[in-house]
Amino acid sequence: MKKPALVSVLLVIALLLGLSSSAAAETLRLRNGALLVGKIENPDENGFVFLRIRDGGRIHLRWEDLILRDAERLRASFQLLGQSDGDVVSFRAFRVWRKTSGAPKALTGELLGRDGQKIRLRILGNTIELPLMSLTGTPQFVDVPIREILTPDEIYRRKLGEMNPGEDADKHVLLADYLIRVEEFQRAKEHLQEAQRLGSGSQPNKIIGLLERVESMLANKAEADHLREISVAANRNKFPKALQLMASFEEKYPSSKLASEFSRRKALVMKARERYLIDKVTEDWYRYARDEAKKLARSRDLGVEQVQVKAAEDMGQAIRERIARMRKIEVPEVEALFRRRFEFPLVPKIQPATYGQGSWILGEKDLIAGTARGKLAEKAESNTITLGNQVRRERERRLREFIRSQGRRAGQNPQQAAQRLDSPSDWWQEASTRERQLFILASYAERSGDMKVERAQLRPCMTCAASGRVQVPTAEAGRMVSVTCPTCHGLKHFRTIRFR
């Protein structure tokens, strides 16, 4: 590992160790984009009080203030509304990547600490030491199913110590509920029976229902084990395997004693699969959009008009088909999943694109569509006045180089070359693959109907400092004339967009 990379890993590990050592420190992501680090206090169905580590300030937050993933994770951890509808108990684990002869191997476990140049992880009862020099990439905390990190005995001992039910029947019920979720049915039964011995507390009917459930699971162990395999596959995002296991369960146990348990778990798996696929299909869509744009950009035999038509009419279908093949689902499902991306705030991340120096091809009307032209024009005018010497010299150098190249190409003098503007075909043939790719991506985002353009902006042309005109020398010594800017064709700006 190179020294800078090692330093980076050390810094990240030090930071994460610091966070993990802070009492119950949580990093929360809010819907407005803010990031908070601190401790949660007094959680209830409506929200909680958040104690900021930075300044000790207290904030009252509602669950809906958080992004969906954090809200769901925390509500489940506090056993709030809806927790009994899910089987996944998550554990905040530490993930590192160890260098191998091939691709780096991910290791995920409980972070115990750092000793000198090593970190210690605990995975299913085993402690391993990893030299920092053997690691690569950026370590991070991740939420994983708890049974992938802790043994059943560890899970039970920790939860028992945390809840310390003693002579409180209601606490025994809460502990049993938790144990059912981690599929420790025998221990759950024992605590439910203890709750009954203590008078059943405030939930006698719930105790009866839970006892019936755990006794059914214990009496039908083979079926219960099969259901657990379904949950494990789903928890690891192996949904094709989970679907196969569900199909085999229905075939193997047509009159299952755990039919209601299977129906409940099947609904959870389908919901989790849908959420996972919305995330992945959206990521795939953005990636394949860039890839398809690059393919078109490399086709030098296509003109700019042809490319714009293909971006608007053909790219979307190619993207849909590629995702369907990769995810092994049908095209209509791909479309339906992608349309639902806005239901989850973090999924449709903002994507950039620009028409760059080819923006003039759009014409003035399309160039400024959806932009705050007045404000940007004022800003561009201000930039013209305050443009620094270094930027001005660079602008003049680029202009002289452009004029000379145009003159060489056409056998003209500088004044004639400056007055001759590129046609769309000229610009397209001379643009780099990267420039063409961004132009195509922007065309696709705005014309295909697949994307939502969140923001359109104008960026000033640096050749003319957003004036639309440049001064060029004439054959007469010392005399300059004003001509249309050869870069922006007098439109002064380039168009950039943000879409998702």
* pLDDT tens digit sequence for 171-228: 899 899 899 888 899 999 999 999 999 998 888 888 998 999 899 889 888 998 899 8
What's residue 385's pLDDT?
A: 45
Q: Is the pLDDT of residue 248 over 50?
A: yes
Cα distances (angstroms) measured from residue 423 to each of 13, 79, 487: 55, 66, 11
Given a cut of 80, is residue 344 above it in pLDDT? no
The rounded mean pLDDT for the chain is 82
**pLDDT at residue 374, as a whole number:** 45
Bridge partner residues of 480 (DSSP): 473
CATH 2.30.30 residue ranges of the chain are: 23-78, 90-148
Q: What is the pTM of this model?
A: 0.65
Confidence of residue 245 (pLDDT cuts 50, 70, 90): very high
Instruction: Give the residue with greater pLDDT, 421 vs 323.
Output: 323
pLDDT at 136 over 80: yes
pLDDT at 141 over 90: no
On whether the CB atoms of residues 214 and 189 are closer than 8 A, the answer is: yes
Most distant pair of Cα atoms in the chain: their distance:
108
Among candidate residues 205, 230, 348, 191, the one with its CA nearest the CA of residue 284: 348
pLDDT value at residue 477: 67
Helices marked H in 138-238 — which ranges? 152-163, 169-181, 185-197, 204-219, 221-235
Q: For tokens 């400092």, what's the residue?
A: 465
Amino acid at 83: Q
Residues forming a β-bridge with 28: 36
Q: In this structure, are residues 431 and 361 in contact, taking their beta carbons and an 8 Å threshold?
A: no
Fold of 23-78: SH3 type barrels. (2.30.30)
Which of the given ranges, 233-242, 321-330, 381-390, has the highest pLDDT on average?
321-330
- ∠ CA 391-393-396 to the nearest 5 degrees? 110
Q: Which fold has domain 90-148?
A: SH3 type barrels. (2.30.30)
Is pLDDT at 68 greater than 80 in this prediction? no
How many CA atoms are closer than 13 Å to the CA of 311, on its beta-carbon side?
29
- Quote the CA–CA distance of 200 and 270 in Å, as a whole number: 35
Among 164-173, 239-248, 368-377, name the one with the lowest average pLDDT: 368-377
Looking at residue 275, its pLDDT comes to 86
Residue 472 has pLDDT above 90, yes or no: no
What's the CA dihedral at 406, 410, 415, 421 to 10 degrees? Answer: -60
* Least confidently predicted of 202-206, 261-265, 379-383, 433-437: 379-383
Residues 6+ apart with CB under 8 A from 207: 173, 192, 195, 196, 200, 201
Core vs surface per residue 352-375: b (16+ CB within 10 A) or e: ebbbbbbbbbbeeeebbeebebee
Look at residue 97 in the predicted model and tell me its pLDDT: 87
What pLDDT shows up at residue 23? 45
At residue 345, the pLDDT reads 59
